[in-house]
Structure 1
């Protein structure tokens, strides 16, 4: 029996988890020794099913059901093209190994070499605003172009936009799952997962094959996302959200945390603002992140006037009037002197140019619109 089989068997015991696993390793020095000599004091803390499994192993050894499961799991991985990376192996991600009680095993589908690239996590709300999705996509594309792998959780919303931004830039992206790597969640992102693998990225999980996505899995997934990364970019997040948990875990793991500020009227900006108050770096462009992390590989290309549409004087005046916060038609009419009908025509033109978006009860600048405003001044 080798260390990988012993680790699979130990983690198969219900109630074991990384915490107890590393306690055993600290005491016994190897997973094989820990499995063979599981202390009675620890065994009694595990659920009855785990106690029965281990006692059967202690009687039957390598003929036990526990070892049979571990060997079958290795076969399932081989059949599915999934690799197992054991903590302590040379290509186990270095930053993740430095965290407290890292996952003893990683299941990897795709390019395991992707885990050796410098990574930046991009996380945020599942129900993000269109501006938030645009920011996630644009920042991820720029950062991937600067040589970073983009790490996220394959969720709907910001996660998916970040993965797609990296792929659009022909970069590498890593998806950390709260399910088995062969049981994708959400199913709506199954095609995206295949694009990630085809693009030289990877799907990873610490959970066994065929594990379902359960609520308890996602905090564990979030600690892996932050642990893999040099820094975490928070795009949009409510005050009570998994994305905010990921950012806080990153701070605990001594990672850099970056947050994009938003309107005070946007509930999804509140998590970002809280993190900025708690020490996250406020960022407005991807260059802010690249500069702080040492400018690895290349600077992202800056937007230039040739990439921006040419606006007429009245359109520019309206961009100025919109500023940084959502505005109603009445407010814009007061500030610009235009009639409601004229404003609607101008706003439609700016929407088609990708500079303005409509909200319930008003309008606001998109990230491209905000960049245009910044360059105009």
Structure 2
């Protein structure tokens, strides 16, 4: 059972006692309870400034550690600390690993292979399609997808993994109960229902602040064997995640993009500077030592042509660039309702993919 004093210290995390200072205080004072009860001089000996120590002492006088723990558990939130065997093994190895993780759902087992997928919040259609396609294929190879539940690339990665019945981990830059977007809450619930987890190092109602996200990113890369960057501008939080991965000697993957696209400046630079260039899921699987395999639908679509002449004609027109159903109907000289019905069957059989707005790809 987690010490209530350790949990209570996380409430002061954002002000002064982060992972590095906590480790320093623990080394000097011996236990979380001793840290909690320490004098200003003792706190200074463990690395706090005088002002920090006084603020902490004033703050703790208003707090009840056991009440904070009881409230957390009543919310249905689980806790894991650096001392627990369930703590993510790769994350434990980074120099500033969170000393407590709050989570809902199921943490991956020790032998699971985790890959971070990050990118721009202002992703292009290209980026969203690539993130979804790669995440889905990795999930079908039983890799766990780790991302940040942000708009754009993160959301696309989580949704595609859930759709593939895979497991995904969402790492928040706020407390688990501070999400104020219904869309994010709904996706978080879907992630948990599929055997994944929502995690944070922040107390349940801690709001998200701008400085939380670069700090959060080290958890995404720290949990993962490798990190995939799909789209990133020149100055992007995704590049911070990539740098954190490199610092911990993890693999970095990048998807190249148009030289004219602002959201590809960062990824193209990563490719230039030595990141693994990714043009398919197989590029990632090979680096991580996973043997690529076709799903039943992919194998069927590769080896057996569609049964009807209409489907065969449509398949000839499909590639990785989206084509609208009306354009397909004109190209094959068939009514839109016939093309729509044919595409539905083709999607079920693995020949086509609906990417939204009446657009289809292979």
- Normalising by the residue count of structure 1, what TM-score does the alignment of the two structures yield? 0.76
Q: Does 1:287 align with 2:286?
A: no
Q: Which moved more, 1:139-148 or 1:16-25?
A: 16-25
Distance 1:128 1:224 in 2: 22
Identify if the C-alpha distance between structure 1 residues 348 and 26 changes in structure 2 by more than 3 Å, giving closer, same or farther: farther
Contact persistence 1:114–1:174 (CA under 8 A): no
- Cα RMSD of the aligned pairs, angstroms, is 3.4
* 215-224 or 178-187: bigger deviation: 178-187
Residues 11 and 202 in structure 2, CA contact (< 8 A), matched pair in contact too:
no
Q: For residues 82-97 of structure 1, what are the structure 2 equivalents within 5 Å?
A: 82-97=77-92
Gaps of 5+ in 2: 322-326, 335-339, 344-351
Equivalent residue runs for 1:155-234 within 5 Å: 155-184=150-179, 186-234=181-229
Does the aligned pair in 2 maintain the 1:146–1:300 contact within 8 Å? no
How far the C-alpha of 1:255 sits from its partner, in A, is: 1.0
The DSSP-based 3-state class of the residue aligned with 1:170 is coil
Q: Partners of 2:315 and 2:105 in 1: how far apart?
A: 51
Task: Return the offset for 1:293.
Answer: 0.6
The aligned runs of 1:123-142 (5 Å cut-off) are 123-142=118-137
1:106 equivalent in structure 2: 101
Change (3 A) 1:82 1:265: same
What does residue 299 of structure 1 align with?
293
Q: Contact 1:3–1:31 at 8 Å: present in 2 too?
A: no
Report the alpha carbon displacement of residue 101 of structure 1 after superposing the two structures with TM. Answer: 1.4
- The 2-side partners of 1:121 and 1:185 are apart by 24
Please say if 1:25 is aligned against 2:26.
yes
The answer for unaligned runs of 5 or more in structure 1 is 55-63, 325-341, 358-365, 370-377
Contact 2:44–2:53 (CA<8 Å) still a contact in 1? no
Worse-superposed segment, 274-283 or 28-37: 28-37
Corresponding residue for residue 142 of structure 2:
147
Given that 1:4 and 1:86 are in contact with CA atoms closer than 8 Å, whether structure 2 keeps it comes out as no
In the alignment, the residues of structure 2 paired with residue 233 and residue 218 of structure 1 have an alpha-carbon distance, to the nearest angstrom, of: 17
- Write out per-residue CA displacement over residues 61-91 of structure 1, whole angstroms, 9 at most, x where no aligned residue: xxx543x1x2222112211111111112111
Q: 1:269 to 1:121 in 2, by over 3 A?
A: same
Map 1:18-97 → 2, pairs under 5 A = 18-37=19-38, 38-41=42-45, 42=48, 44-46=50-52, 48-53=54-59, 65-66=62-63, 68=64, 70-97=65-92
Question: Any idea what SS the aligned residue of 1:258 has?
Answer: strand
When residues 21 and 300 of structure 1 are mapped into structure 2, their CA distance, relative to the original with a 3 A threshold, is farther
Partner Cα separation in structure 2 for residue 347 and residue 236 of structure 1: 35
User: Relative to structure 1, is the Cα distance of residues 227 and 307 closer, same or farther in structure 2, using a 3 angstrom cutoff?
Assistant: farther
Offset at residue 347 of structure 1 (A): 12
Closer, same or farther in 2 for the Cα pair 1:9/1:346, shift >3 Å? Answer: same
Q: How many residues are aligned here?
A: 326
Distance 1:252 1:209 in 2: 29
Q: Which moved more, 1:28-37 or 1:169-178?
A: 28-37
For 2:73 and 2:161, the matched residues in 1 are separated by 28
Cα gap change, 1:299 to 1:313, in 2 (>3 Å) = closer
1:341-369 Cα offsets, whole Å, 9 max, x none, are x99x65999xx988999xxxxxxxx9957
Alpha-carbon separation, structure 1, partners of 2:317 and 2:98: 54
